[in-house]
Structure 1
Amino acid sequence: MLEYKYDTQLLIDGVDLNEDIINEFFANNFKGDCLLAVGDSELIKIHYHTNEPWRVLEYCASLGEIYDIVIEDMERQSKGLKG
């Protein structure tokens, strides 16, 4: 069994986005691993493993428009099922 079940990926389109602030917020407020928050002040790509993807979506939506949202169940994938 995986510690963090959901692979959560999305893009944030916004203004004055800051990778460091986003990384710090994730570290202080979410349980998960494999965080990738990269981009520039207008577009950030997020990749994160968590058990609460809805919290990630809620926070990211507070920063700007979110799109290309993918949430995959890695536990199902490891069993050969669709995620």
Structure 2
Amino acid sequence: MEEIEYRFDTQLLIEGKNLSEDAIHDYIIKNIEGDCLLAVGDDELIKIHFHTNTPWKLLEYAASLGDIHDIVVENMVRQANGLQG
């Protein structure tokens, strides 16, 4: 079976003011280990998708930027083994 390097598929929305998808993307890449990062949106709403072993770091950072909601953290190892995430 294929090894999953980053076990948590983490998705959320950040709602705030003067958000920058480039700045958010760069911060996450430099400070939180993971892969498959998407940070898309505008200056008031950003959608984040990221695979990481430390989803709490991503949530803590995102919460520092604005209101976070629609948070989903799925365990891809459990999913790969046919279990609920």
Instruction: Kindly tell me the number of residue pairs found equivalent between the two proteins.
Output: 83
C-alpha separation between the residues in 2 aligned to 1:52 and 1:39? Answer: 23
Structure 1: runs of 5+ lacking an equivalent? none
Aligned to 2:17: 15
Please list every run of at least 4 consecutive aligned residues from structure 1 whose deviation after the TM superposition is greater than 3 angstroms: none
Structure 2: runs of 5+ lacking an equivalent? none
In structure 1, give the amino acid aligned to 2:24: I
Secondary structure, counterpart of 2:57 in structure 1: helix
Find out whether 1:69 has 2:71 as its counterpart. Answer: yes
Aligned to 1:57: 59
Task: Give 1:27 shift.
Answer: 1.0
**Kindly, what percent of the aligned residue pairs are identical?**
63
Give the TM-score normalised by structure 2: 0.96
C-alpha separation between the residues in 2 aligned to 1:48 and 1:27? Answer: 10
Aligned to 2:84: 82
CA RMSD of aligned residues (A): 0.4
C-alpha separation between the residues in 2 aligned to 1:13 and 1:19? Answer: 12
